[in-house]
């Protein structure tokens, strides 16, 4: 190739998830969510943006929950940014496949849009169901979060469903399954349940 750009070596970066609840009185039935728009910042402040970045992470999957970013410039990583949920593009563009396939049980038919985050289970005798979604204007529930990391080619994201649940008074709110204020309010509890190493 002509020109002066030097070829930058590339690598794969693997992101793994630990989704187990720290509170053992909590029984998790379903725990699934979308992670999208992943980007990495390097120590030289340049940025890698994953193309077509939509991942459905499911605690039930038999294989360990992880995903791989490919063709990442081989540089030290200082920050990771991702969206918990799906952007409005994914919600308004018609039929999708891959992780956005509506067959995967993360789509509301009657009120078009993805369920961004689904947590169902029991704490003691109290059953709970949280299906958080909504993409439009004030109903938007996708949350973009950034974490400093010092990583080379593996990143671990710990998402502890009990830390989400512990912020909710289950005696008054145990089921939210439609877009709206309540769903938006619940997304305020996301940051507390996530840590990145």
Q: Which residues bind another protein (CB under 8 A)?
A: 91-97, 101-103, 107, 109-113, 139, 178-181
> Measured between alpha carbons, how far is residue 159 from residues 18, 68, 87, 110, 196 in Å?
6, 18, 20, 29, 9
Shortest distance (Å) from residue 87 CB to another protein: 14
Q: Which is nearer to another protein, 58 or 162 (CB)?
A: 58
Q: Which is nearer to another protein, 10 or 111 (CB)?
A: 111
DSSP 22: S
In which residue are the tokens 């008074």 written?
A: 169
Q: Which is nearer to another protein, 68 or 88 (CB)?
A: 88
Question: Is residue 51 within 8 Å of residue 113, measured between CB atoms?
Answer: no
Question: Is residue 38 within 8 Å of residue 50, measured between CB atoms?
Answer: yes
Cβ contacts of 12 within 8 Å, gap of 6 or more: 68, 69, 70, 72, 153
Q: Which is nearer to another protein, 2 or 95 (CB)?
A: 95
Q: Which is nearer to another protein, 29 or 102 (CB)?
A: 102
Shortest distance (Å) from residue 108 CB to another protein: 9
Shortest distance (Å) from residue 142 CB to another protein: 16
What is the chain's alpha carbon radius of gyration, rounded to the nearest angstrom? 18
Shortest distance (Å) from residue 195 CB to another protein: 33
- Max Cα distance, the chain (Å): 68
Shortest distance (Å) from residue 191 CB to another protein: 25
């Amino acid at each position: 190739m002509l020109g002066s750009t030097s070829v930058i070596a590339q690598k794969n970066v693997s992101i793994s998830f630990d989704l187990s609840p720290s509170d053992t009185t909590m029984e998790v039935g379903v725990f699934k969510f979308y992670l999208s728009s992943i980007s990495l910042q390097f120590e030289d402040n340049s940025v890698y943006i994953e193309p077509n970045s939509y991942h459905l992470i499911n605690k039930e999957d038999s294989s360990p929950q992880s995903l791989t970013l490919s063709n990442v410039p081989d540089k030290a990583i200082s920050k990771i940014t991702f969206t918990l949920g799906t952007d409005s593009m994914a919600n308004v563009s018609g039929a999708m496949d891959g992780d956005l396939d509506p067959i995967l049980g993360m789509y509301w038919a009657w009120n078009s849009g993805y369920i961004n985050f689904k947590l169902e289970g029991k704490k003691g005798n109290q059953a709970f169901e949280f299906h958080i979604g909504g993409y439009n204007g004030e109903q938007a529930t996708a949350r973009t979060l950034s974490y400093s990391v010092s990583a080379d080619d593996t990143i671990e994201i710990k998402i502890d469903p009990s830390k989400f649940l512990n912020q909710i008074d289950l005696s008054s709110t145990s089921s939210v399954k439609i877009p709206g204020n309540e769903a938006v309010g619940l997304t305020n509890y996301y940051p507390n349940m996530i840590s990145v190493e």
